[in-house]
Chains A and B, each alone.
Chain A
């Protein structure tokens, strides 16, 4: 158990809908990262928040957004969902940006 929690574990929704994925980092970790894992693209970095502020963006679509709250939990919002958004979404946390990242168990999103 890495200490990173993610909810929900599974999510099934229809095209065009909007969903919110939640992540709680390890106690004391200030950095939260979001990643997408799909069969065709592999593991891709989406976005990084540090102590409530957006720090870096990776391959994140404009339809996706994230935020980190004062209690350091983070939410990833996915809107106007398409079939191709079906994937595993992981969050990871670390004490600071240059440290090792610990991953949560993931949220499996299925868009039908």
Chain B
């Protein structure tokens, strides 16, 4: 079955760039997503990328996709305290499942 893996924690200093990594196993993934969850809140869709793209940039966010290695990353430039949250990688492959398959989430910790 599908599997999405992320490291559990990432600690960065305020103002630095954060890079959150994700690997997935389903080669038929068509869309890959990054969601953000703040404490006590729902999941906020940050960005997504189609599997036929290599990169997508949206303001401070850059998504890189290496389809050969099934590796996805999210770079947050100039990390701020408001970026402190759990970041989930998710993939959608359609077919019979339809739901998203999520990783366990990466806790981004910002040091002053």
Cα of A101 to Cα of B48 in the assembled complex, Å: 10
Interface size on A, residues (CB 8 A): 22
| 8 Å CB contact of B99 from A45, A100, A102 | A45
Say yes or no: B96 contacts A56, CB within 8 Å: yes
Q: Is the interface of A mostly helix, strand, loop or mixed?
A: strand
What per-residue 1/0 map shows which CB atoms of B10-36 lie under 8 Å from chain A?
000000000000000000001101010
Cα of A91 to Cα of B88 in the assembled complex, Å: 16
Query: Of B37-45, B52-60, B65-73, B74-82, which stretch is located at the interface?
Result: B37-45
Task: Chain B residues near A98: list those with CB within 8 A.
Answer: 30-31, 92, 94
Max chain A C-beta neighbours (<10 A), residue from B33, B97, B103: B97
Say yes or no: A97 contacts B43, CB within 8 Å: no
Say yes or no: B98 contacts A100, CB within 8 Å: no
Cα of A43 to Cα of B103 in the assembled complex, Å: 8
Q: A42-B105, A56-B99, A58-B97 are in contact. Are A104 and B42 (CB under 8 A)?
A: yes
Max chain B C-beta neighbours (<10 A), residue from A43, A102, A105, A106: A43
Q: A43-B88, A45-B97 are in contact. Are A100 and B30 (CB under 8 A)?
A: no
Task: Chain B residues near A18: list those with CB within 8 A.
Answer: none
Say yes or no: B96 contacts A101, CB within 8 Å: no
Say yes or no: B45 contacts A43, CB within 8 Å: no
B residues neighboring A (CB under 8 Å): 30-31, 33, 35, 41-45, 48, 88, 90, 92, 94, 96-105
